[in-house]
């Protein structure tokens, strides 16, 4: 890499916590079991069983949740144009370097969970897991944070822009 060449940072994250998938699959499995028992074996599922349409709807909802969590992604790119973040399917942001006042790689701790967290000390937090990421303050005064699982690479990318160091 030459001195004037910028090294891009790219990261794509998903919800891949084993316990989350175990929980989602367990709920889905119970629903499928109930549907088989009630619709195929003709044995009511539970002490106060749903009607057949209800149990089918419950399983479609559970399948939708599985697919939704599988689809969600947090994509981050830092390059010579600026910082791009996309939290699929909720939010897409791009801020050019001209809009950015400061950036800093931080350990932000627990902010009330994962996903999109509003009203934190860092503004809006977009994260999939963990407690480290890039805190960004815009010249407009707005601030937000993008979580990262590749802190070393993120730190190295940020050092290419010392003029924006918080």
**Burial degree of 19 (CB within 10 A; 0-12, 13-18, 19+):** exposed
Domain boundaries, the chain: 13-71, 74-164
Mean pLDDT across the chain, nearest whole number? 91
- State yes or no: pLDDT of 1 exceeds 50: no
User: pTM (2 decimals)?
Assistant: 0.81
**Burial degree of 30 (CB within 10 A; 0-12, 13-18, 19+):** middle
| CB proximity list for 44: less than 8 A, separation 6 or greater | 37, 38
pLDDT digits (tens, 9 = 90+) for 126-153: 999 889 999 999 999 999 999 999 999 9
CATH architecture, range 74-164: Roll (2.30)
pLDDT for 2 equals 47
Residue 114 confidence class, pLDDT cut points 50, 70, 90: confident
Count Cβ atoms below 10 Å from residue 35 Cβ, excluding itself. Answer: 17
């Amino acid at each position: 890499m030459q001195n004037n060449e910028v090294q891009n940072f790219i990261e794509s994250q998903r919800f891949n916590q084993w316990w989350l998938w175990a929980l989602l699959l367990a709920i889905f499995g119970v629903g499928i079991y109930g549907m088989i028992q009630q619709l195929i074996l003709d044995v009511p599922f539970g002490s106060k069983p749903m009607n057949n349409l209800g149990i089918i709807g419950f399983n479609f909802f559970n399948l939708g949740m599985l697919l939704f969590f599988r689809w969600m992604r947090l994509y981050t790119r830092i390059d010579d144009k600026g910082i791009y973040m996309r939290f699929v399917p909720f939010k897409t942001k791009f801020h050019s370097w001209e809009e950015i006042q400061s950036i800093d790689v931080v350990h932000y701790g627990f902010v009330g969970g994962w996903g999109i967290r509003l009203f934190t000390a860092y503004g809006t937090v977009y994260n999939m897991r963990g407690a480290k990421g890039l805190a960004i303050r815009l010249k407009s005064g707005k601030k937000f944070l993008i979580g990262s699982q590749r802190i070393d690479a993120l730190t190295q990318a940020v050092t290419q822009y010392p003029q924006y160091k918080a």
